[in-house]
Amino acid sequence: MKIAVLAGDGIGPEIVAEAVKVLNALGERFELSEAKVGGAAYDAHGHPLPPETLSLARESDAILFGAVGDWKYDALERRLRPEQAILGLRRELGLFANFRPAILYPQLADASTLKPEVVSGLDILIVRELNGDVYFGQPRGLREVEDGPFKGAREGFDTMRYSEPEVRRIGRVAFEAARQRQRRVTSVDKSNVLETSQLWREVMIEVSKDYPDVELSHMYVDNAAMQLVRAPKSFDVVVTGNLFGDILSDQASMLTGSIGMLPSASLNDRKQGLYEPSHGSAPDIAGKGLANPLATILSAAMMLRYSFGRNDLAGRIEAAVERVLADGLRTADIAEAGKASVGTREMGDAVVAALRG
Ligand code: IPM
Ligand code: MN
């Protein structure tokens, strides 16, 4: 089990350290290798995804990733920004299938901003396509408007684009996942406006013919955003493109009270995976020992399950996290107003103690 540990920026190093601690407490043999990524790699090597980091990632079975980004890199040209590291890893390793579960732990029902009856028991899986769409579509750039009333003004342009095989393969991933769950897939698009989405919808319907046991429905992205807060429990698996998935997964995460709880997995067709918390680098609290390490710890559990087929170990970590929550331990992001909270390291230590106990 060869794992590349890429902690990155902001709170990345703090939360990844806790996940590594939890992995080491399992009593298994992991081969862990660390490398710099994001702004930290830019500072050390002049590039957010240096060749040595990329080759370590390629040679590993799985990547445990923290987070990248910090305001101090905002002025850099785009290709050198920390975000390019995660985008580059997704593209170079062909990590096209992104699993973003939004699960409400019963212990945290009060942490959600929505009414408990709307969210209790919530268990949604967002399957986000990660290699295509307007994130990677060419052409893109900055130029001058050629004619019309704004002639001569600066304009920015990007290309939203999906090919049939790209839609087909993420569709299959979503339908397969639904078979392990409630057998319902909601495909989210904007086919009333976009050709990309028209193709997306047609291909999803074709894919669904191979899964007669799974129910497919379609929703426009604006309506999906509304339904996610109106009746979130009506969803099982949501499959969507890169941009819509980015937005909807942040929205879905907040239904559960805190984005600090949610893990994610990004897989390619060789079952190689990158595992990262759904949240970002939170530079405002970096280095303060306040960040919630549970999303990263749960990402390590997803890694054991998806990349190594070790459901037993994943289950042990998940049970330990539930124990700790049931014992009332809370980091600041999930603590009730006015109630005491613990820091990053104490939370990690508590999960290790629960694993052992
Ligand atoms: C995410 C992040 C990334 C994305 C950024 C950091 C490039 O927001 O993983 O959701 O937009 O995909
Ligand atoms: Mn995002």
pLDDT tens-place string over residues 211-258? 999 999 999 999 999 999 999 999 999 999 999 999 999 999 989 888
Rounded average pLDDT over 286-295: 97
Number of compact structural domains in the chain: 2
Residue 109 falls inside a structural domain: no
Shared domain check, 156 and 89: no
User: ipTM exceeding 0.90?
Assistant: yes
Percent of the chain with pLDDT over 90: 92
Does the annotation list 284 as a binding residue? yes
Determine whether the shortest distance from the Cβ of 250 to ligand 1 is under 6 A.
Answer: no
Task: Give CA–CA dist 146/347, Å, rounded.
Answer: 57
Structure-token pair, residue 337: 């107003």
Point out the residues that are catalytic.
135, 190, 222, 246, 250
Domain that holds residue 159: 123-255
Sequence-separated (6 or more) residues with CB below 8 Å from residue 115: none
The pLDDT of residue 183 is above 90: yes
Residue 27 falls inside a structural domain: yes
pTM: predicted TM-score of the whole model, two decimal places: 0.95
Task: Give CA–CA dist 42/270, Å, rounded.
Answer: 29
Shared domain check, 190 and 237: yes
Picking from 231, 255, 279, the residue at the C-terminal end of a domain is 255
Task: Give CA–CA dist 104/258, Å, rounded.
Answer: 9
Q: Which of 299, 314, 329 is nearest to 19 (CA)?
A: 299
Q: Cα of 250 to ligand 2 centre, how many Å?
A: 6
Picking from 255, 285, 309, the residue at the C-terminal end of a domain is 255
Shared domain check, 242 and 306: no
C-beta of residue 330 within 8 angstroms of C-beta of residue 339: yes
Picking from 255, 283, 311, the residue at the C-terminal end of a domain is 255
Q: Measuring from atom 12 of ligand 1, which residue has the nearest CA?
A: 246
Determine whether the shortest distance from the Cβ of 189 to ligand 1 is under 6 A.
Answer: no
Task: Give CA–CA dist 45/57, Å, rounded.
Answer: 17
Rounded average pLDDT over 76-105: 96
Shared domain check, 200 and 304: no
Query: Which residue's structure tokens are 């790699």?
Result: 41
Shared domain check, 271 and 190: no
User: Which ligand ends up closest to the CA of 81?
Assistant: 1
pLDDT the model gives residue 258: 83
Shared domain check, 131 and 85: no
Residue 91 falls inside a structural domain: yes
Q: Measuring from atom 1 of ligand 1, which residue has the nearest CA?
A: 246
Determine whether the shortest distance from the Cβ of 86 to ligand 1 is under 6 A.
Answer: yes
Determine whether the shortest distance from the Cβ of 83 to ligand 1 is under 6 A.
Answer: yes
Q: With helix as H, strand as E and coil as C, how does 201-264 read? A: HHHHHHHHCCCCCCEEEEEEHHHHHHHHHHCHHHCCEEEECHHHHHHHHHHHHHHCCCHHHCEE
Residue 116 falls inside a structural domain: no
The pLDDT of residue 344 is above 90: yes
Q: Cα of 344 to ligand 2 centre, how many Å?
A: 22
Determine whether the shortest distance from the Cβ of 87 to ligand 1 is under 6 A.
Answer: yes
Shared domain check, 321 and 268: yes
User: Which ligand ends up closest to the CA of 68?
Assistant: 1
Shared domain check, 296 and 190: no
Task: Give CA–CA dist 238/222, Å, rounded.
Answer: 14
Q: Which of 305, 350, 308, 280 is nearest to 66 (CA)?
A: 280
Pocket test for ligand 1, best of 246, 251, 279 (most atoms within 8 A of CB): 246
Determine whether the shortest distance from the Cβ of 70 to ligand 1 is under 6 A.
Answer: no
Task: Give CA–CA dist 318/300, Å, rounded.
Answer: 10
Helices (H), the chain: 12-24, 39-45, 51-59, 83-92, 116-119, 164-179, 195-208, 221-230, 242-255, 294-306, 311-326, 344-356
Shared domain check, 199 and 300: no
Shared domain check, 75 and 178: no
Task: Provide the CATH number for the domain around residue 159.
Answer: 3.40.718.10
Determine whether the shortest distance from the Cβ of 246 to ligand 1 is under 6 A.
Answer: yes
Shared domain check, 217 and 131: yes
Q: Cα of 48 to ligand 1 centre, how many Å?
A: 15
The pLDDT of residue 159 is above 90: yes
C-beta of residue 207 within 8 angstroms of C-beta of residue 201: no
- 3 state SS of 6: strand
Q: Measuring from atom 8 of ligand 1, which residue has the nearest CA?
A: 246
Q: If 0-12 CB within 10 Å is exposed, 13-18 middle and 19+ buried, where does residue 78 land?
A: exposed
Task: Tell me which H or E stretch contains 186.
Answer: strand 184-189
Does the annotation list 128 as a binding residue? yes
Local confidence band at 100 (pLDDT 50, 70, 90 cut-offs): very high
Cα four-point dihedral sign 113, 117, 123, 125? negative
Local confidence band at 101 (pLDDT 50, 70, 90 cut-offs): very high
Residue 115 falls inside a structural domain: no
Give CA 32 to chain center in angstroms. 21
Shared domain check, 344 and 290: yes
Does the annotation list 280 as a binding residue? yes
Residue 197 falls inside a structural domain: yes
Q: Measuring from atom 9 of ligand 1, which residue has the nearest CA?
A: 278
